[in-house]
Structure 1
Amino acid sequence: MRLINLIYGDCRFQFKYGFYFIYSIFTIMYVTIVLFLPLEWREKAAAVLIFSDPSAMGLFFMGAIVLFEKSERVLSTIAVSPVRADEYIISKVVSLGIISAISGASIALSADAQNMLIVITGVIAGSALFTLIGLIVAVNINSLNQFVTAAVPIEIIIFTPPILYLFGYDNKFMLLHPGCVIISMISGSSDYILFLPIFIIWFLFLYKMARINVIKMFQNLGGIKL
């Protein structure tokens, strides 16, 4: 029940501060772009758009979310409450994943994606991964400028190999990169299947790192729970 309340609270926060409105506008814009492209371009264009925005929104917005929670002393309250680090992390992953899934599915439908279940799974997996990365960075910064400075090189490392892979740099070893596995799923390809365990290892590693950093943040704010 506590986790459900946390997720509900995060969803309310995101709705109140315009996340749903912003991504409604972005989704309409991206769908329009896809529909104006030649048919043979649509699938790859949609994959790039989904991967680089709705799937990655956790990385883009996590800095602002955590800084807001710090400034409003929300985190100080959470740190001394019964809420655990795992619940805090899962709430962020799920609440942002809902927006990503809705937006990503809409864009994929506009491109007549054939494997919607795989595409949506890829969007959700990507959203979870990016949210964890964003959270690891966000809990260790004190200003939005610091977050942007830290996030830019991460974005280059995460985005460049998958886009190269999608557009023909066909080296199977690139699927050791978690972003390549994600974009393979979003594009509806079956290449990801053999490398799915690699993605799971990456996810578990990032979750562990996020948990360590969130616990440290809670302890610094006055909480002692694990």
Structure 2
Amino acid sequence: MRALKLITSDIRFQYKYGFYLLYAVFTVFYIFLLRLIPEEWKKTVVAVLIYSDPAAMGLFFMGAIILLEKSQRVLDSIAVSPVKVGEYIAAKVASLGFIGVLVGVIIAMTAKTGNLLLTLCGVILASVLFSLLGIIIAVKIKSLNQFVIATVPFLLILTAFPVLTLFYDFGEYVVLHPGVSAIRLIIGGEDNNAVHILVLLFWIILAWMICHSAVKKAFLALGGVKL
């Protein structure tokens, strides 16, 4: 029940500060853009758009949300409340993941390419991973400029490289890269989708452990003690 209240509170917070409006603008723009793309390119372009916007943008938006909470001293209140570290992280990931998945599904249904179920699976897993990374970075950062600089290496590794693998062959072991597995799930149509899912789950579990430790330290620094 407490987790549900946290999720609804986060959704209201995101709506208040225009995150939903921003996603709506991006969605309309992408749908318009897809109408201009030749049919033979559409499947690849859709995969890149879905991966880079609803999934990868979660990293940026999560950072912005955490920094807003810091500036308004929301974290100070949460740190001394009964809210546990895991509940806080789960609520953040679920609330931002909801809108990311919604946008991804809208784009996929509009384009009518690939397997919608696999696309949904890829978006959800990628959104969770990027949101966790956003929290890990943001809790250690004090300003938006620092956050942007800190995210550049992650974006190059997790966004640019997976897109390159759509056009160049980097070998079979490249699927161990979480971004590559995510974007291939979003495209759909492969036989080794179970491998992609397992790879993403491994990275999500690892990111969750690091995120839990980072948030716990941040809460302790603010005077709260959470398990």
Q: Shared fold by TM > 0.5?
A: yes
Say yes or no: does 1:197 pair with 2:198.
Answer: yes
Alignment of 1:59-74 (within 5 A): 59-74=59-74
Supply the distance in 2 between the matched residues of 1:159 and 1:101 (Cα, whole angstroms).
17
Supply the distance in 1 between the matched residues of 2:109 and 2:170 (Cα, whole angstroms).
26
Alignment of 1:59-98 (within 5 A): 59-98=59-98
1:167 aligned residue: 167
Supply the distance in 2 between the matched residues of 1:73 and 1:195 (Cα, whole angstroms).
39
Cα contact 2:114–2:187 (8 A) shared by 1: no
Say yes or no: does 1:107 pair with 2:107.
Answer: yes
Cα contact 1:35–1:42 (8 A) shared by 2: no
Alignment of 1:45-56 (within 5 A): 45-56=45-56
Amino acid in structure 1 at the alignment position of 2:189: S
State the Cα RMSD in Å: 1.2
Supply the distance in 1 between the matched residues of 2:86 and 2:201 (Cα, whole angstroms).
17
Cα contact 2:43–2:113 (8 A) shared by 1: yes
Alignment of 1:132-143 (within 5 A): 132-143=132-143
Supply the distance in 1 between the matched residues of 2:162 and 2:87 (Cα, whole angstroms).
30
Count residues in correspondence: 226
Cα contact 1:113–1:188 (8 A) shared by 2: no
- Cα displacement (A) at 1:106: 1.2
Cα contact 1:35–1:110 (8 A) shared by 2: no
Change (3 A) 1:143 1:169: same
Cα contact 2:64–2:144 (8 A) shared by 1: yes
Could you list the per-position Cα deviations for residues 20-71 of structure 1 after superposition, in whole angstroms to 9, with x for gaps in the alignment?
1111110010011111111111111010011111111221112221111111
2:186 aligned residue: 186
Could you list the per-position Cα deviations for residues 161-202 of structure 1 after superposition, in whole angstroms to 9, with x for gaps in the alignment?
211222242522110000001001111132432243222111
Further displaced range: 61-70 or 129-138: 61-70
Supply the distance in 2 between the matched residues of 1:124 and 1:7 (Cα, whole angstroms).
16
Cα contact 2:114–2:189 (8 A) shared by 1: no
Structure 1 ranges of 4+ moved more than 6 A: none
Say yes or no: does 1:152 pair with 2:152.
Answer: yes
Say yes or no: does 1:41 pair with 2:31.
Answer: no
2:29 aligned residue: 29
Query: TM-score scaled to structure 1, two decimals?
Result: 0.96
**1:142 alignment partner, SS class:** coil
Amino acid in structure 2 at the alignment position of 1:20: Y
2:226 aligned residue: 225
Could you list the per-position Cα deviations for residues 104-147 of structure 1 after superposition, in whole angstroms to 9, with x for gaps in the alignment?
11111222123101101111111100000111000000001110
Amino-acid identity (%): 47
Say yes or no: does 1:211 pair with 2:208.
Answer: no
Supply the distance in 1 between the matched residues of 2:167 and 2:46 (Cα, whole angstroms).
13
